[in-house]
């Protein structure tokens, strides 16, 4: 999905787009297994012209039913009434700089370690592939295996071009967000050399010092002098996050989004405006557009879910 050209980036936000895609067809083979409980050597994800996020009879291969009393299983999960589990899951090619493809890999083992292996060289050189394990993110081009303790896991694979977001910070406090997924999400890696970083705990109604940086969250960042930070990662085009009744600090996405009619559930929970702190005038700006790289206060009359696309 391309950035909506109707909205311009604010003057202090710069998004750098890296070279355009050149590979329209590729696939990566994965082997998943547990010592003696079982294995799946048929896992494969990638892109093909004409493929979709659903079940494509021309490209995808369904995962067969689990054997009786099986202690191990591994498959790609999709939303489909007949074939929700796949061994081969192909999607549409990445045609724009903001395209992101996401695969959901489910693995489980009742009592043994799970080992995943893949061929990192099969990932095109102009693309980046990150795997979110639930406790951390790994670069699938930098390593070719993963070992997990016995258990049940949902692994999220994201493939895209990387983007560099540059945010200019003014001396004092700034209300910002980071609409990309960097490999290292720690505060020290995303905001190096700043004086302080805080976010808002909506449940406790107090400021806290975060340990990691997430796209759906707004942050207060203090610097002693004007400076610019650069963060490179997978672009985030949408997110859905829980809000608490009262005030919440939210983040942004790549490409500005309106909150004049909030995409919330239950409907009518989130008030149709936001506040952003202007570090130059030292005052709040009342807005209805969520701009890339800024953080915002939004108000909700009850606990709800908010989606920013």
Could you read off the pLDDT of 187-209 as tens digits, one per residue?
999 999 999 999 999 999 999 99
| Cβ neighbours, 10 Å, residue 79 | 9
Stretch 173-183: mean pLDDT = 94
pLDDT of residue 2: 40
Question: 276 pLDDT exceeds 90?
Answer: yes
Stretch 144-162: mean pLDDT = 95
Whole-prediction pTM: 0.74
Share of the chain above pLDDT 90, in %: 80
Are 1 and 95 within 8 A, CB to CB? no
Q: How far from chain centre, in Å, is Cα 48?
A: 22
Question: 142 pLDDT exceeds 70?
Answer: yes
Average model confidence (pLDDT) across the chain: 92
| Cβ neighbours, 10 Å, residue 247 | 14
Phi first, then psi: give them for residue 98, nearest 5 degrees.
-100, 5
Stretch 107-120: mean pLDDT = 97
CA angle, residues 187, 159, 89, in degrees to nearest 5: 135
Q: Which residues contact 283 (CB under 8 A, 6 or more apart)?
A: 277
């Amino acid at each position: 999905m391309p950035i909506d050209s109707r909205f311009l980036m604010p003057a202090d936000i710069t998004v750098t787009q890296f070279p355009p895609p050149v590979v329209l067809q590729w696939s990566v083979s994965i082997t998943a297994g547990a010592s003696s409980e079982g294995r799946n050597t048929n896992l494969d994800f990638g892109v093909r012209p004409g493929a979709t996020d659903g079940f494509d009879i021309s490209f995808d291969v369904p995962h067969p039913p689990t054997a009786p009393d099986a202690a191990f299983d591994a498959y790609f999960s999709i939303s489909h009434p007949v074939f929700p589990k796949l061994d081969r899951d192909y999607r549409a090619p990445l045609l724009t700089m903001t395209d992101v493809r996401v695969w959901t890999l489910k693995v489980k083992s009742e009592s043994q370690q799970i080992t995943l292996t893949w061929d990192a060289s099969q990932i095109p050189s102009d693309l980046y592939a990150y795997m979110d394990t639930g406790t951390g993110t790994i670069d699938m081009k930098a390593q070719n295996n993963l070992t997990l303790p016995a258990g049940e896991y949902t692994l999220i694979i994201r493939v895209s071009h990387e983007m560099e977001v540059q945010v200019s910070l003014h001396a004092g406090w700034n209300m910002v967000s980071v609409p990309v997924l960097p490999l290292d999400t720690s505060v020290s890696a995303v905001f190096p050399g700043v004086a302080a970083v805080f976010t808002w705990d909506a449940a406790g109604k107090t400021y806290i010092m975060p340990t990691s940086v997430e796209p759906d969250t707004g942050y207060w960042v203090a610097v002693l002098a004007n400076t610019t930070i650069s963060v490179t990662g997978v672009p985030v085009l949408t997110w859905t996050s829980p809000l608490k009744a009262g005030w919440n600090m939210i983040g942004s996405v790549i490409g500005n989004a309106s909150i004049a009619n909030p995409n919330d559930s239950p409907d009518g929970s989130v008030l149709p405006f936001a506040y952003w702190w202007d570090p130059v005038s030292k005052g709040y700006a009342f807005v209805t557009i969520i701009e890339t790289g800024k953080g915002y206060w939004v108000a909700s009359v009850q606990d709800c879910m908010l989606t920013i696309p």
